[in-house]
Amino acid sequence: MMPAVLREPWMDIERQREAATFAMWLFIATEILFFGGVFTAYGVYRTLHSAEFLAGARETTIAYGAVNTAVLLTSSFFMAIGAKAARAGMAAVAGNSFLMTAGLGVLFLIVKGFEYRDDIARHLVPDPSFALQGDGAEIFWTFYWVTTLIHALHLLIGIGAVLRLYTRRHSETWLKESAAPEVTGLYWHFVDIVWIFLFPLLYLAGRT
């Protein structure tokens, strides 16, 4: 037996949905400022150490970054379908879409794992055996590790949330009425947007 969808203090399901959507957007606003602070610091260091910073950026593997961007964009496509289908009461389509979304999220992490293995083998971790010269390159690679790891953590949380939706795919009423499919979708798409900005900053910088 599924728990009732409508919770206190809301009088009706529409207002509850509106409140949940509003709250998720507010959370996303705090996330924009969190990631935005890191991106601003990136901009400052890139200005101060331009040549070394871009020499460091040239060492990222563009193929991994581009493939993973395509994987995340496609996962967002399925997430959008899943949330819409849930609302429309198309439980089977919603369930399959959630599974595709989570699966593509896992694929992203697998590709990222191979990329990390290469990066470590090429001594691109800023430690005493770091392969490149100069503070700027080291600062770039610190940004690379910190931002991609924080992004991966966000994605891992997202995969868990989408799989939770998948476990409820048999309850058409829950899928239709709960705010969870839409709100989980908002979070998932936001994590995609973070990657969309990370991609040019980490992979496209200094290619000319």
Partner 1 sequence: MSAAERRRLRELARGPFFAWTALCGLLIATVALAYVPLGPGNIVVSLLIATLKAAIIAFVFMGLRAASGLVRLAAVVGWVFLFFLIFLASTDFLTRT
Distance CA 90, CA 162 (A): 17
Distance CA 6, CA 13 (A): 6
The binder of partner 1 chosen from 6, 25, 51, 160 (CB under 8 A): 25
Q: Decide: 2 and 173 in contact? Cβ < 8 Å.
A: yes
Looking at residue 107, its amino acid is L
Looking at residue 81, its amino acid is I
* 176 in contact with partner 1 (CB under 8 A): no
From the CB of residue 127, how many other CB atoms can be counted at a distance below 10 Å?
9
* 26 in contact with partner 1 (CB under 8 A): yes
Looking at residue 91, its amino acid is A
Cβ closer to partner 1: 90 or 162? Answer: 90
Stretch that binds partner 1, among 85-93, 102-110, 116-124, 163-171 (CB under 8 A): 85-93
Distance CA 85, CA 28 (A): 23
Q: What is the number of helices (H) and of strands (E) in the chain?
A: 7, 0
Give the helix/strand (H/E) hosting 197. helix 180-199
Cβ closer to partner 1: 117 or 207? Answer: 207
Stretch that binds partner 1, among 2-10, 21-29, 140-148, 149-157 (CB under 8 A): 21-29
Q: Decide: 39 and 197 in contact? Cβ < 8 Å.
A: yes
* 81 in contact with partner 1 (CB under 8 A): yes
* 199 in contact with partner 1 (CB under 8 A): yes
The binder of partner 1 chosen from 5, 13, 55, 80 (CB under 8 A): 80
CB of 151 to partner 1, least distance (A): 14
* 28 in contact with partner 1 (CB under 8 A): yes
**130 in helix, strand or coil?**
coil
The binder of partner 1 chosen from 37, 110, 123, 153 (CB under 8 A): 37
Q: Decide: 49 and 139 in contact? Cβ < 8 Å.
A: yes
- List contacts with partner 1 (CB under 8 A): 18, 21-22, 25-26, 28-33, 36-37, 39-40, 43-44, 47-48, 62, 66, 69-70, 73-74, 76-77, 79-81, 84-85, 88, 90, 92-93, 182, 185-186, 189-190, 192-193, 196-197, 199-200, 204-205, 207-208
